[in-house]
């Protein structure tokens, strides 16, 4: 697949949302090895992004109506867009060698009518697959406009792509015969928070965006029992039994000794009893093949993982002043404390959840942990902020999900008209 991305951009303006979408779309194509070229105006200002060609005749916005002079001008401008002139290469030459064309706001806006007409003309000459990204709702008064403005309300060859179904449904009502689909704008949480390079690697390697319940839990191996890791493993096993996708990231520092390695095997045996699969449901950072991670994990990576997670369950009985509890609270987690350990409550609010973990043996008191798992699921399901965050992180702001579930099927499976 060779994709041409047609735009009328004269600069990559951070304040213009279309620029952000185009930039993120190119990043997605780079991630998945899709050959692509971005086309911009010949008069493009600033640094041109990688894989870009300066192309397209500069056409100033103009009001067209049925008077003879404006329509003559419109015809000349359409011809220059198709064939090119001294200010730019035309569509006919630009699209040579590509089989798929993505346009951005070229067939649905009044200021790009010459491009709209040129696309219809070139589509009849060369069989390509056309996908028209529409960043604005279809306008009103479609029954009052005249040619060439009326072209906005006539279906162009290909598929109209909207960021939501409401806008797509509106287009189907107004544009007779329009084929529409939905593809989210490829924003990504990894870019929004400037994640560390190692964090980005872990997200892919561990499918961290595929979760319902996620926690990161730092500790040192000599104190993993006192930190309450057995309680966490039991509880996450019960959460999994409730058909929740769980991700428990155990940041097990000081695991580079014989003692540390022996204790890891005990943790693994406990996890198996809880029906948790290593590399799927729980993870040991000491096993990541990055230099020094068996001893310690960079703090920036731990902070990144903390931002992504949605719960922080803290059954520890050894902290005097927990830094990680404060970090979890300030990053908007559902915090659950050990009600048997008073020091932690000085950093909590009256609404903080707490349960008597110390009194309940994770190997014997199964009823207790099943009950707590049920209460946590109920709390997460009703928390509007955490529910929205998890959904957005897993889907709306996750270019891997968008590529797998929306964009790749659209580009690879569409067999409609050219």
Is 327 in the same domain as 367?
Answer: yes
What integer best gives the mean pLDDT of the chain?
A: 84
Residue 106 is encoded by which pair of tokens? 């070229």
- Of 124-138, 296-310, 326-340, the range with the highest mean pLDDT is 296-310
CATH of the domain at 94: 3.40.50.2000
Work out how many domains the chain is built from and give that number: 2
Residue 154 is encoded by which pair of tokens? 């006539």
Task: Give the length of the chain.
Answer: 418
Q: In what order do the strands lie in the sheet with 100-104?
A: 52-54, 35-40, 2-6, 100-104, 129-133, 159-162, 179-182
Confidence of residue 140 (pLDDT cuts 50, 70, 90): low
Indicate whether 390 pLDDT > 50. Answer: yes
The mean-pLDDT minimum among 50-64, 140-154, 158-172, 276-290 falls in 50-64
Q: Is the peptide bond before 148 cis (omega within 30 degrees of 0)?
A: yes
Question: Contact 4/53 with Cβ under 8 angstroms?
Answer: no
Question: Distance between CA atoms of 251 and 282, rounded to whole angstroms?
Answer: 11
E-assigned strand segments in 315-393: 334-338, 353-355
Is 369 in the same domain as 407?
Answer: no
- Torsions phi, psi for 9 (to 5 deg): -70, 140
Residue 44 is encoded by which pair of tokens? 């493009």
- Number of continuous H segments (helices) and E segments (strands) in the chain: 15, 15
Question: Contact 281/240 with Cβ under 8 angstroms?
Answer: yes
Average pLDDT over residues 266-283: 97
Residue 101 is encoded by which pair of tokens? 């064309």
Is 124 in the same domain as 231?
Answer: no
| CA end-to-end span of the chain | 15
What is the DSSP code string of 110-145?
GGGHHHHHHHHHHHHHS--EEEEE--SPPPS-TTT-
Is 146 in the same domain as 230?
Answer: no
Is 163 in the same domain as 250?
Answer: no
Single pTM value for the model = 0.75
pLDDT of residue 50: 56
- Of 47-56, 115-124, 127-136, 227-236, the range with the highest mean pLDDT is 227-236
Any bridge partners for residue 334, and if so which? 311
Indicate whether 242 pLDDT > 60. Answer: yes
Is 299 in the same domain as 359?
Answer: yes
pLDDT of residue 284: 97
Average pLDDT over residues 81-97: 69
Is 31 in the same domain as 179?
Answer: yes
Indicate whether 58 pLDDT > 50. Answer: no
Of 224 and 342, the one with more pLDDT: 224
């Amino acid at each position: 697949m060779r994709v041409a991305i047609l735009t009328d951009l004269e600069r990559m303006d951070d304040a213009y949302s279309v620029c952000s979408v185009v930039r993120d779309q190119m990043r997605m194509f780079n991630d998945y090895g899709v050959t692509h070229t971005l086309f911009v105006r010949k008069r493009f200002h600033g640094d041109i992004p990688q894989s870009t060609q300066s192309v397209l005749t500069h056409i100033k916005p103009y009001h067209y109506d049925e008077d003879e002079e404006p329509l003559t001008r419109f015809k000349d401008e359409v011809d220059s867009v198709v064939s090119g002139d001294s200010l730019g290469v035309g569509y006919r030459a630009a699209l040579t060698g590509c089989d798929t064309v993505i346009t951005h706001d070229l067939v649905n806006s009044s200021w790009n009518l010459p491009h709209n007409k040129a696309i219809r003309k070139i589509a009849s000459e060369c069989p390509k697959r056309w996908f028209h990204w529409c960043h604005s709702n279809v306008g009103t008064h479609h029954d009052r406009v005249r040619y060439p403005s009326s072209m906005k309300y006539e279906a162009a060859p290909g598929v109209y792509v909207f960021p939501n179904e409401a806008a797509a449904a509106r287009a189907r009502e107004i544009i007779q015969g329009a084929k529409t689909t939905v593809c989210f704008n490829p924003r990504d949480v990894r870019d929004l928070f400037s994640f560390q390079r190692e964090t980005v690697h872990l997200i892919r390697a561990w499918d961290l965006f595929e979760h319902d319940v996620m926690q990161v839990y730092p500790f040192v191996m000599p104190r993993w029992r006192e930190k309450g890791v057995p309680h966490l493993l039991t509880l996450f096993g019960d959460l999994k039994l409730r058909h929740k996708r769980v991700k428990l990231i155990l940041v097990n520092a000081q695991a580079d000794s014989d003692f540390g390695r022996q204790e890891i095997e005990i943790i693994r045996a406990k996890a198996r009893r809880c029906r948790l699969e290593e590399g799927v449901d729980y993870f040991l950072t000491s096993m990541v093949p990055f230099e020094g991670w068996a001893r310690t994990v960079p703090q920036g990576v731990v902070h990144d993982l903390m931002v992504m997670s949605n719960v922080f369950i803290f059954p520890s009985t050894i902290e005097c002043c927990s830094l990680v509890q404060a970090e979890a609270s300030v990053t908007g987690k559902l915090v659950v404390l050990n009600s048997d350990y008073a020091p932690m409550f000085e950093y909590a609010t009256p609404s903080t959840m707490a349960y008597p973990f110390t009194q309940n043996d994770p190997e014997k008191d199964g009823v207790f942990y099943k009950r707590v798992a049920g209460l946590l699921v109920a709390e997460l399901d009703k928390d509007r902020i955490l529910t929205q965050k998890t959904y957005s992180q897993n889907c709306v702001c996750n270019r891997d999900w968008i590529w797998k579930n929306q964009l790749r099927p659209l580009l690879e499976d569409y067999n409609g008209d050219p």
